[in-house]
Structure 1
Amino acid sequence: MNNFTKIIISSAILICSYLSANAQGCVAIRQFSGLGNAVGQGNMLEPGEWNVSANYRYFKSFRHFRGSHEEPNRIEDGTEVINHQHGLDINISYAFNERIYGIVSLPFQYNERSSLYEHGRTERHTTYSKGFGDMRIGGGYWLLSGEKAKKGNTAIGLGLKFPTGDYAATSTFYNQGTEGGTEVKTVDQSIQLGDGGTGIIIDFQGLWNLKGTLFWYYDGFYMFSPKETNGTPTNRRRENEAIMSVPDQYALRTGLFKSFTNIHGLGISLGGRVEGIPVHDAIGGSEGFRRPGYIVSVEPGISYMKGNVTGTLNVPFALIRNRTQSVTDIENSTPDDVVHGDAAFADYLINFTLAVRIPKKITSPFGSL
C-alpha cells in the first residue's frame, strides 16, 4: 500500500465516522445515525475485503433552549434536565467490487436522565435505559472508478433502519400520584432505545484531493419515517402529546482534511455540521409528541493510522441550537398564548472510532496466504 493510498484511507475513515454520531441533546428522540459511519471505508477496500469498526459516542445535554434563545435560569434554579447518553455502534462493511459496498450497523446504548419535573417537582431523581438500539443495513455505489477516481469520488447510498430497539423502555419514577409513591412508566422520548418505525435512509459522501495532502470532504443523510406514531405513552398532560411521534432525521457536514507526511499516519480535520429533526415529516403524518430542532456545530478531528488499524476522534462543539415549534405546539397555541416547548442541548459531543481493515486472503498453489 503506497503512501497516497494510506492518506486516502485515513481521511475516509476519519470523515465517515461522523454519520454514526447523534444529535446533541433532547432534540433527538434517541441516539441516531445514518449509514455513513463505515461506508466510506469501502471505497478503499479491494473487492472481497472487510472493514470492522466500533464507534463510541457520549454527550451531556443540559442547556435549555426555546427556539434559539437559551434559558440560563434553568441551570441557575437547578431545574434543568440532564441527559448522559452513551452509544456504541459495531459496524461491518464489505466491498463487493470497486464501486459497490454493503454495511450492517449494530447499535448499543446506555442512557441516564436526571430531572425534577418528572418526579413530582420536589426531588431530583434519575431514570435509565439500556440495550440494543435500531439496527441499520444498507449499501451504496461509488460514482467513479479507475483513473476517474484518482483525485476523488462521491458515493450515494440507500439503507433501512429496523425497529429493533425498545421504543417503550420503562424506569422508576418517584413522587407520583396523590400519595407520592413510585411508579414504573415509559422513559422520556430522548432516551428511548428506538422509535418503533422502519426508516428509509438515503445518504451520500465524498472526498476530493485539493492539493498535496489537503482534501475536501462532505457527507450527509436523510431518514424518512413513514410511520406517524408508535403507541408509546409520553406521560404528558396535553391530549395531542400523549403518544410519541416517529420523526424524520437528517445530518449534513463538510470540511477539510490534512494528512502529515512527516508524521506517518497522522491526519487532522476541521469542518462544520448541521443535524436535527424536522417539524414535518417528508412522508406520512407528523402528529404525536416530538422535539424538533437543529444544531449547527464546528467539528475538529484527528486520526492516526497504523497498518490496517485506524483510530479517529471527532469533537463537535455546538454554535447554534434551535428548538423549533412543533406541530403540537402550533395546535395548542392561540392568538393570546403561543406555545413553544423547550429542549436541552449539549455543548459538545465526543465521537471516537476504532476501525480495522481485513485484507482479502490471497489464494496461491500452496493455499491461502
Structure 2
Amino acid sequence: MIRRLVTTLVVAALALVTRGPTVAAQSATDLLTTGMRSYQNLDYEAAAATLRKGLLRATSDTFSTPERLQALTYLGATELFRRRRDSAVAAFRQIAVTDPTYRPSAIIFPPQVTSLFQEVRQGTRTVFIRVPPETEFRARAERLTARLVASTPHDIAVAVTRDDGAVVNSLYSGPIDDSLAVTWDGTERGEAVKSGHYLLRVTSQAAAGARQLVRQLPLEIERARPDTQPWPSPGDATSPGVRSGPAVRSLAGGLAAAVAVVVLPSIVAHDADGIKGRFAVAAAIGGAGLASFFAQRSAPPLDVVAGASAAARDAAKRRLEDVRRQNAKALAEIRLRVRAGPATLLEQGAQ
C-alpha cells in the first residue's frame, strides 16, 4: 500500500515538472486575454490586476515582444482610466524604450490614451542600434556601419569606448530625427584598434527633469590574420644550368692519360732526357684535357635553349614580384572581424 502511494506521488511530481513550462506559458497568455477582456468590459480594477500578474509571470520564452507591448498598452490605458496617471506613464515608457516604431491602435484606444502615449514617447529620448551580428572590414579603408533609430527627434553623442568608458573614437555629435547612419573606420588616433572588447555607446540628451538614457552595444573585435600568398619555390627562379657531363669526362680522361705517361716504365725513356720527355708528354695531354673541359663548359647553348631559359627567368621574376607586391599590400591592410552582442540600456541621473 505504501509502495503504491509513493509510486503515485512520484509519477504526479514528474508530470508537474514536465508540464510546468507549458502551464506557465498558457497562464501568461490566458492572463493577457482575460485582462484585455476585463478592459473591454470596463472592469478596470480586474484588468489592472490581471495584466500585472500576467506581465510578472511572463518571460521572454513565454511572451513574445509584441504580446508584451500589447499587455503594457492595455495596462497603461487601464491605469489612465483608474486615474493613476503616473502608473500609465510608467507602462508607456517601457514601450518607448523597447520599440521606437510601436504605436497604439487609434481604432482600439481612445484619443486620451494615444495622446498620453505620444507625450511619453516624445519625452523618452533614446536611440536603438542596429548592427549586423558579424562584420569584417579593412581598417581605415572600409567602415563599420550602425543604423540608429530614434524614439523621438533629439540630440545624441555616439562614440566607441572601452569597457571602462574611455573613448576610443568619437563618431557623431548632433541631432537625430527618425534615423541616422554612423560609420567607424576601426581606428583609434589613426591606427587600427587591437583585438579586444569595445562598446558602441549612444548617449541621448535628456529632456528637462528626465533621466539620461545611454544605449550601448558590445563589440568583440578580432584582428584577422593577413591573407598572404606563398612564395614561389626556389626552382622557379633559377635558370637552367649547362650540362657538364661531357666536360668532366674530357678533363678526367686527359688527367688520367697524363698520369699514365708519367708512370710509364723505363722502356719509354731510360735517361734524364727521357724523364723530361715523359713530363712534357704528360703536360701536353693534361693541357689538352683542360682545354677540352673549359671549351665544353663555356660553349654557348643552342638559341632555342637560351631563349627558353631567359623567358623562364623573366616569368619567375614576374611571379616573385607579384607575390611580393600582394603580400606587402596584405600586411599593410589590417582586417577587423567584429561580433556585436545584444544592446543594453543605462539610465543616468535622477528624475
Q: TM-score, normalised by structure 1?
A: 0.23
Higher strand share: 1
Q: TM-score, normalised by structure 2?
A: 0.24
Q: Structure with the greater relative contact order (CA < 8 A, sep ≥ 6): 1 or 2?
A: 1
Q: Which structure: larger Rg?
A: 2
Higher helix share: 2
